[in-house]
């Protein structure tokens, strides 16, 4: 049986990042600062995700995006368009 691909979704806030891993159902939050982002990257790397999607929120995602790119995680910035 082929292993399922891992996808990560990140909700961006000014103080924290909320992370959900699919299909494992893991959920955790980290602070949206250098230390929290470093912890998150280290936690995500062993999962070898197919994609890491992060919400574009007034550039609050920028530090995480740069760190994920540097760590060679497949980062995708998503624009959420309200109704």
pLDDT at res. 2: 59
Name the residue among 57, 6, 67 with its Cα closest to residue 36. Answer: 67
In a domain, 51, yes or no: no
In a domain, 47, yes or no: no
pLDDT at res. 51: 97
In a domain, 21, yes or no: yes
Per-residue tens of pLDDT for the chain, all 83 residues: 557 899 999 999 999 999 999 999 999 999 999 999 999 999 999 999 999 999 998 899 999 999 999 999 999 999 866 66
* Number of domains present in the structure of the chain: 1
Q: Are 54 and 12 in contact (CB under 8 A)?
A: yes
């Amino acid at each position: 049986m082929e292993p399922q691909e891992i996808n990560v979704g990140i909700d961006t806030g000014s103080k924290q990042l909320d992370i959900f891993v699919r299909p494992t159902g893991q959920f955790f939050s980290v602070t949206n600062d250098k230390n929290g982002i470093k912890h998150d990257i280290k936690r995500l790397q062993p999962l070898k995700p197919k994609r890491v999607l992060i919400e574009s929120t007034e550039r609050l995602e920028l530090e995480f995006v740069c760190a994920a790119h540097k760590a060679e995680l497949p980062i995708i910035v998503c624009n959420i368009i309200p109704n």
